[in-house]
């Protein structure tokens, strides 16, 4: 029947081939392709075709997941050319975009990506299907961010690629297979030679959460995390906490042993990721104890200038150690990737605050040596005294330091999801604050404009002097008043206007009349009411709804979100280096000298 059909004159083979591909009949498609090659008919789709001009047999086969037809077309030399991204304005193909891209081009690109994201096409066209799925998913996500009108379609295709790569990893049956898959280095270019599981690092970089959450991956990662201390997972939480306390007491001895004898069994155990983590936690608790002790000793010394307890030098060493740790991570994973993690940015802000405090300590010491006023009473200090500024920065830095304790609880199944919910809620608060600041600024400016002309006015009533409220005397005070009104600290009386009584002569009698500006006062009262309706009833409840929605989203995917965050924490301790926590990482070890010699030899 098909042979007879092909012999008929006027048959449009291009349309016929596409219809055959759509049915998925490999034999008929092959017959038509042979006839098409024999006649040499150019490929085109007519205006009456059921398919758009950008559709090719391979694109259609991939969109319909016809595995056999895809295989046939690939063997015959067909291929899908990847479209240029929406941000491309090359002179060869994308020059017309400078005047605006038409809808047909956008739809054609979307059709091509529907084919490229086909699992049947990826697995046959790529030697590394998992890497191809990762890269395509990232590309689709970026396209969706640019073409917001197609964001749903691009997001759906990106999730399709991620789901395919997840199923490929989940199909592994042995630990060796999973380890082999995760150890592939292709595509991961930001790390170093000693990085463990580069394919997993690539998945985390692309935010592919489902890939790392499959059971085979989690089991292999857990084995690598515990390394030489597999007994750790069998310990009760109490014993695990006790291990941290013991590590705090024995850390200096372990550091000495590691530096002197790095190849003994105990030193090798210290290199396991879980031991690195415990050492870091123990060292960090010592750091917090030093900060608290420094504060206690500083309260006993009311003099100007830097602290004189001696503990401040230990704190300086710790901060240098944290800087060195962050610097090595930046070198290892590049600055952009390092700063993409919220906790790394948090740590960087903390270190900047401590460093600024140290600089102010030095400056205040120099100032005291020049002016010889170390015992000047605090009440006589200038409001911008270097000692006062250093105290303020130091207090904020300590706040950040103690706040980082939350980071260590990410490893806990009980507290980890709660911390993730908190993180998403903070993002909601940041979005909310943009709108909130605009509204507060608008109303504060309006109140200042309305009331600043009444500054300093008074009225004597029954022998009592009544003054105009200072709530809106300046823009700063107006902002302060409007903000705190949300929490009920700004009563409605702030919007009242105080004017002196006006004297009116009626015959021989002078009468004092209240010359109240009731229209202005009414406008102020109404504006205050409107702000409370918008700022408190509407915006605050909107924020609560946003935070509740974020909490619900995390709860719905609590296990996946937490495992992904925990995997990030685990992998940060994988690989070589980082065995000694700050400030002990400043001590040069024999391994450090060996690495330096090797690098010098390569140069």
Q: What is the pLDDT of residues 299-330, one digit of tens each?
A: 777 778 788 888 999 999 999 999 999 998 88
Domain presence at residue 595: no
Is residue 115 situated within a structural domain?
Answer: yes
Picking from 390, 413, 436, the residue at the C-terminal end of a domain is 413
Are 458 and 366 found together in one domain? no
**598 in any annotated domain:** no
- Whether 180 maps to a domain, the answer reads no
Angle at 358 between CA 354 and CA 359, to 5 degrees: 120
Query: What does the alpha-carbon distance between residue 161 and residue 147 come to, in Å, rounded to a whole number?
Result: 19
SS (H, E, C) 308-342: CCCHHHHHHHHHHHHHHHHHHHHHHHCHHHHHCCH
Query: Is 156 contained in some domain?
Result: yes
* pLDDT at site 539: 83
Do 430 and 325 belong to one domain? no
pLDDT range class, residue 470, cuts 50, 70, 90: confident
Contact criterion met (CB below 8 Å) for 459 and 499: yes
Rounded to the nearest integer, the mean pLDDT of the chain is 84
Mean predicted confidence (pLDDT) in 96-118:
81
Same domain, 396 and 262: yes
Residue 212 lies in a domain: no
Same-domain pairing of 400 and 455:
no
The Cα 437–Cα 570 span in angstroms is 39
| Segments forming the whole domain that contains residue 37 | 2-174
pLDDT at residue 162, rounded to an integer: 93
Residue 601 pLDDT > 60 = no
Same-domain status, 443 and 480: yes
* Residue pointed to by tokens 């830095």: 397
If asked whether residues 317 and 444 sit together in one domain, one would say no
Domain co-membership, 29 together with 160:
yes
Residue 40: predicted pLDDT:
62
- The answer to whether residue 207 sits within a structural domain is no
**Do you know the residue count of the chain?**
603
Strongest mean pLDDT among 431-445, 504-518, 541-555, 567-581: 431-445
Half-sphere exposure of 433 (CA within 13 A, CB side): 6
What pLDDT is recorded for position 297? 85
pLDDT at 404 over 90: yes
Over range 352-365, report the average pLDDT.
93
As beta bridge partners, residue 511 has: 504
Residue 603 banded pLDDT, cuts 50, 70, 90? very low
Of 138, 154, 174, the position where a domain reaches its end is 174
| Model confidence pLDDT, tens digit, residues 334-354 | 777 788 888 999 999 999 999
Mean pLDDT of 15-20: 79
| Continuous segment of H or E residues that includes residue 505 | strand 502-506
- What is the pTM assigned to this prediction? 0.83
Contact between residue 63 and residue 115 where contact means Cβ atoms under 8 Å apart: yes
Rg (CA), the chain: 35
β pairing state of 464-467 and 502-506 = unpaired
Domain limit, last residue, from 142, 174, 206: 174
Give pLDDT tens digits for 138-194.
999 998 988 888 889 999 999 999 999 999 999 888 989 999 999 888 888 765 556
Phi/psi at 406 (5° precision): -60, -30
**pLDDT(593) > 80:** no
438 SS3 class: helix
Q: For 365-370, which contacts have Cβ atoms below 8 Å and span 24 or more sequence positions?
A: 365/305, 365/306, 367/305, 368/304, 368/305
Mean pLDDT highest for which of 41-55, 315-329, 419-433, 500-514? 315-329
Residues 303 and 346 in one domain: yes
Tell me the two tokens of residue 246. Answer: 């013991």
- Residue 43 clears pLDDT 80, i.e. is over it: no
- What pLDDT score was predicted for residue 602? 47
Could you tell me if 317 and 441 lie in one domain?
no
Distances (CA, A) of 87 to 83, 90, 100, 101, 142: 11, 9, 12, 11, 10
What is the maximum alpha-carbon separation in the chain?
124
For 352-462, strand residue ranges (E) read 458-461
Give the list of residues 6+ apart from residue 222 with CB closer than 8 angstroms, or none.
233
- 350 Cα distance to chain centroid: 17
pLDDT of residue 34: 79
* pLDDT value of position 498: 79
**More confident: 459 or 548:** 548
Confirm whether 603 is domain-assigned. no
Rounded percentage of the chain residues whose pLDDT exceeds 70? 88
Do 162 and 74 lie in one domain? The reply is yes
- Judge if 409 and 430 occupy the same domain: no
Q: How confident is the model at residue 408 (pLDDT cuts 50, 70, 90)?
A: very high
The residue-averaged pLDDT of 119-136 equals: 92
Count the domains in the chain.
Answer: 3
Q: Are residues 371 and 433 in the same domain?
A: no
Q: Regarding predicted confidence, which is higher, 454 or 115?
A: 115
The pLDDT, as a whole number, for residue 7 is: 56
Q: What pLDDT does 82 receive?
A: 86
């Amino acid at each position: 029947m098909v042979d007879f059909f092909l012999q008929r004159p006027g048959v449009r083979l291009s349309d016929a081939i596409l219809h055959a591909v759509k049915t998925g009949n490999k034999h008929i498609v092959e017959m038509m392709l042979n006839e098409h090659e024999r006649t040499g008919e150019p490929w085109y789709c007519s205006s009456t075709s059921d398919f758009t001009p950008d559709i090719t047999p391979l694109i259609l086969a991939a969109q319909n997941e016809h595995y056999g037809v895809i295989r046939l077309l690939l063997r015959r030399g067909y291929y899908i050319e990847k479209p240029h991204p929406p941000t491309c304005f090359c002179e060869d193909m994308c020059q017309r975009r400078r005047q605006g891209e038409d809808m047909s081009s956008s739809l054609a690109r979307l059709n091509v990506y529907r084919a490229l994201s086909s699992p049947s096409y990826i697995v046959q066209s790529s030697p590394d299907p998992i890497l191809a799925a990762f890269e395509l998913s990232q590309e689709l996500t970026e396209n969706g961010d640019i073409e917001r009108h197609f964001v749903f379609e691009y997001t759906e295709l990106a999730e399709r690629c991620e789901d395919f790569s997840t199923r490929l990893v989940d199909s592994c049956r042995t630990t060796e297979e999973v380890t082999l898959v995760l150890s592939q280095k292709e595509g991961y270019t930001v790390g170093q030679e000693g990085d463990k599981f580069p394919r997993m690092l690539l998945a985390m970089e692309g935010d592919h959460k489902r890939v790392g959450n499959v059971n085979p991956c989690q089991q292999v990662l857990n084995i690598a995390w515990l390394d030489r201390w597999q007994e750790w997972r069998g310990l009760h939480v109490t014993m695990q906490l006790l291990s941290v306390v013991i590590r705090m007491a024995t850390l200096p001895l372990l550091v000495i042993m590691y530096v002197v004898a790095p190849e003994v069994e105990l030193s090798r155990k210290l290199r396991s990721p879980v031991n690195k983590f415990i050492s870091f936690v123990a060292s960090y608790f010592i750091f917090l104890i030093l900060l608290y002790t420094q504060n206690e000793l500083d309260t006993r010394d009311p003099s100007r200038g830097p602290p004189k307890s001696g503990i401040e030098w230990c704190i300086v060493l710790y901060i240098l150690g944290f800087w060195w740790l962050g610097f090595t991570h930046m070198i290892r994973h590049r600055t952009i990737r390092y700063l993409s993690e919220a906790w790394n940015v948090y740590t960087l802000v903390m270190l900047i605050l401590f460093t600024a405090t140290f600089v102010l300590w030095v400056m205040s010491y120099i100032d005291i040596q020049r002016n010889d006023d170390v015992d000047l009473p605090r009440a006589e200090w200038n409001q911008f005294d270097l000692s006062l500024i250093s105290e303020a920065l130091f207090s904020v830095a300590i706040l950040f330091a103690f706040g980082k304790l939350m980071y260590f609880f990410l490893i806990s199944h009980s507290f980890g999801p709660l911390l993730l919910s908190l993180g998403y809620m903070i993002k909601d608060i940041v979005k909310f604050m943009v709108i909130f600041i605009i509204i507060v600024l608008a109303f504060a400016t309006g109140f200042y404009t309305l009331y600043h002309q009444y500054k300093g006015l008074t009225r004597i009533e029954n022998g009592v002097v009544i003054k105009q409220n200072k709530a809106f005397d300046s823009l700063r005070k107006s902002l302060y008043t409007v903000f705190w009104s949300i929490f009920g600290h700004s009563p409605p009386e702030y919007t009242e206007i105080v004017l002196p009584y006006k004297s009116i002569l009626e015959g021989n009698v002078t009468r004092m009349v209240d010359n109240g500006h009731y229209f202005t006062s009414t406008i102020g009262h109404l504006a205050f009411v409107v702000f409370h309706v918008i700022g408190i009833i509407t915006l605050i409840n909107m924020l609560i709804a946003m935070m509740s929605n974020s909490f619900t989203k995390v709860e719905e995917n609590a296990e996946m979100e937490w495992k992904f965050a925990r995997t990030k924490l685990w992998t940060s301790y994988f690989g070589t280096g980082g065995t000694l926590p700050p400030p002990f990482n400043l001590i040069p070890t024999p391994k450090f000298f060996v690495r330096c010699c090797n690098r010098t030899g390569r140069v």
